[in-house]
């Protein structure tokens, strides 16, 4: 589904609120990945990258978090950073 970045789908905004509440209850949880992904789908790329970057620092081997960060970088056309994040995922999966 294509998303109008100036008027995000209300379902995605509801997801953001749900995941944001979970993340705020426990900032050390892995809810950051779902929140980052929802931000990305709403076109809120700075928020997506910030949340995912913070979460990956706390959970450096959490593949879901690294994928969320890579997707956010990709959506923001930060290709080198996206590539580096996806390379980390591949390296972990090969072990």
**Going residue by residue through the chain (95 aa), what tens digit of pLDDT does each one get?**
344 456 678 999 999 999 999 999 999 999 999 999 999 999 999 999 999 999 999 999 999 999 999 999 999 999 999 999 999 999 998 87
What is the reported pTM? 0.88
Q: Which domain holds residue 28?
A: 10-93
Question: Rounded distance, CA 71 to CA 49, Å?
Answer: 9
Q: In this predicted structure, what is the pLDDT of residue 6?
A: 60
Q: In this predicted structure, what is the pLDDT of residue 93?
A: 87
Q: How does DSSP classify residue 57?
A: H
Number of domains, the chain: 1
1: in domain: no
Paired tokens of 90:
């591949």
CA angle 90, 94, 95 (to 5 degrees): 125
15: in domain: yes
5: in domain: no
With 0-12 / 13-18 / 19 or more C-beta atoms within 10 angstroms meaning exposed / middle / buried, residue 50 is middle
């Amino acid at each position: 589904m294509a998303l109008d970045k100036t008027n995000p789908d209300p379902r995605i905004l509801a997801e953001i609120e749900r995941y944001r509440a979970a993340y705020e209850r426990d900032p050390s949880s892995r809810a950051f990945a779902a929140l980052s992904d929802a931000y990305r789908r709403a076109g809120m790329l700075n928020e997506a990258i910030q949340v995912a970057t913070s979460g990956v620092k706390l959970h450096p081997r959490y593949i879901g978090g690294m994928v969320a960060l890579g997707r956010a970088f990709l959506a923001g056309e930060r290709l080198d950073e996206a590539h580096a994040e996806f390379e980390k995922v591949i390296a972990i999966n090969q072990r």
